[in-house]
Amino acid sequence: MHAKGGISRLAPSPTGALHLGHACTFVANWLLARKSGWRLLLRLDDLDAPRVQSSGHDVLDTLRWLGLDWDGEPIRQSARLDRYRAAMHALAQAGAVYESPHTRSEVREAAAAVGAPHEGEGHARFPDALRPSDRGAWRFVDAAVNHRVHTLDEGTTVHDQVMGSHDFHVHRDHGDFLVWTKAGVPSYQLACAVDDGELGVTDVVRGADLLESAALQTRLLRTLRLPEPRWWHLPLVRNAQGDRLAKRDGAEGLAGLQRDGVPADRVRGLVAWWIGMAPLAPITRDALLQRCDPDALLPSLRAMHASGGPRVHAATLAWLHGDDAAADTLATHVRG
Ligand code: GLU
């Protein structure tokens, strides 16, 4: 269904246990890649030092347990700092980045002074008033100093394969956003855009929580003259109350399920059912690969989005733990 020669990537952060939402996204991404003849990279987003809890091995073990494979050695962002520095120099050359040593509270105060709306969780839009007027600050000092990218006062439409077209206005809603942090490493937005652009990723498949990030990354890709990928943002898996699964939702954590002796065939079976590729039953990796109809996958992912995304109920966990009768309860819920 999709052109061969594509490249996609699994991009876990080794910051904590993966949960059923990750399983859903990663299995769908792997199936898309394998059925479409794309190369599938494995990228470890390991720059967020204080939050990085493991060397990444646990995450890889969990992916292998799910039966997923990828092409080539895992790519660690921590090993690509030279590439991000080069990108920062290119952005500086284009006059698009500046040093921004303001503290979070200075940003909040300046935002309040102009009556800027808050984005929630205490994260204020970065006000234009804090853009340096001194041209000398529009540069990249390769040090542990925050740097921001100049955002354009215009809208960006993200055309998503699964979620449709969405209009964002990065300047109005975020203002100039961080591209380099006071930890001396690139922000997620910069590292991700540089990796996807430079590694030739044609298809970015990830959770719907990152849809708006596609607009921020588009700004960076365009300024760096890197190709823009196709976007596939998949619905988040929620708990029975409709809240996002947190990484620490113990019972739904994949490592916990594995420890409890839940077979990977059941986790794969659940995901295969969620994404509409099979009835609810344990399934081996090869059977799933064989069963998956690539032409049905995109319409099915769109239907999953339209229905609000999968949910993890008590019966879901019971089924994972071997209670086959729980499948009847689940059948009464729409897609779990
Ligand atoms: N590492 C990011 C996460 O786990 C995903 C980044 C991406 O796919 O762009 O949320």
Sequence-separated contacts (24+) of 112-120 with Cβ below 8 Å:
116/175, 119/173, 119/174
Q: What is the rounded CA–CA span in Å between residue 216 and residue 170?
A: 7
Mutate to test the pocket of ligand 1, among 8, 44, 45 (most ligand atoms within 8 A of CB): 45
For residue 186, the number of C-alpha atoms closer than 13 Å in the C-beta half-sphere is: 28
Angle, helices 294-306/20-36, rounded to nearest 10 degrees: 150
Mutate to test the pocket of ligand 1, among 206, 228, 231, 236 (most ligand atoms within 8 A of CB): 206
Residue whose CA is at the smallest distance from ligand 1 atom 5: 11
88-114: b (≥16 Cβ within 10 Å) or e: bebbbeeebbbbbebeeeebbebbeee
Q: What is the rounded CA–CA span in Å between residue 272 and residue 31?
A: 10
Distance 11 CA to ligand 1 centre (A): 5
pLDDT at 109: 86
Distance 60 CA to ligand 1 centre (A): 15
Pocket of ligand 1 (CB under 6 A): 11-13, 45, 192, 206, 210
Distance 21 CA to ligand 1 centre (A): 12
Distance 231 CA to ligand 1 centre (A): 13
Atom of ligand 1 nearest to the CA of 188: 6
Residue 292: how many other CB atoms lie within 10 Å:
21
Atom of ligand 1 nearest to the CA of 15: 4
* Phi then psi dihedrals of residue 234, to 5 deg: -100, 145
Distance 280 CA to ligand 1 centre (A): 28
pLDDT at 110: 84
Torsion of CA 311, 317, 320, 326, to 10 degrees: -90
Distance 23 CA to ligand 1 centre (A): 13
**Residue 17 tokens, joined:** 């246990």
Where do the CATH 3.90.800.10 domains begin and end in the chain? 80-198+220-225
Where do the CATH 3.40.50.620 domains begin and end in the chain? 7-78+235-330
Atom of ligand 1 nearest to the CA of 22: 4
Distance 323 CA to ligand 1 centre (A): 33
Atom of ligand 1 nearest to the CA of 192: 9
pLDDT at 17: 77
Tokens 């007027």 sit at which residue?
Answer: 133
Atom of ligand 1 nearest to the CA of 9: 8
Pairwise pLDDT comparison (14 vs 123), residue with the higher score: 14
Distance 20 CA to ligand 1 centre (A): 15
Dump strand ranges (E) for 162-258.
164-168, 177-180, 203-207, 230-234, 238-239
Residue whose CA is at the smallest distance from ligand 1 atom 9: 192
pLDDT tens by residue, 223-268: 999 999 999 999 999 998 899 886 555 567 898 899 999 999 999 9
Distance 17 CA to ligand 1 centre (A): 14
**Of 32-46, 117-131, 277-291, 294-308, which range is least confident?**
117-131
Q: Residue 46 above 90 pLDDT?
A: yes
Instruction: Identify the architecture of domain 80-198+220-225 in CATH.
Output: Alpha-Beta Complex (3.90)
pLDDT at 252: 75
Per the prediction, the chain carries an average pLDDT of 92
In Å, how far from its chain's centre is CA 244? 14
Residue whose CA is at the smallest distance from ligand 1 atom 6: 11
Q: Which CATH superfamily is domain 7-78+235-330 in?
A: HUPs (3.40.50.620)
pLDDT tens by residue, 11-25: 999 877 799 999 999
pLDDT-derived band of residue 123, with 50, 70 and 90 as boundaries? low
Distance 315 CA to ligand 1 centre (A): 29
Q: What is the average pLDDT across 135-146?
A: 95
Q: What is the average pLDDT across 89-107?
A: 93
pLDDT-derived band of residue 55, with 50, 70 and 90 as boundaries? low
Torsion of CA 125, 128, 129, 131, to 10 degrees: 110
Q: What is the rounded CA–CA span in Å between residue 167 and residue 79?
A: 34
Atom of ligand 1 nearest to the CA of 209: 10
Q: What is the rounded CA–CA span in Å between residue 316 and residue 198?
A: 40
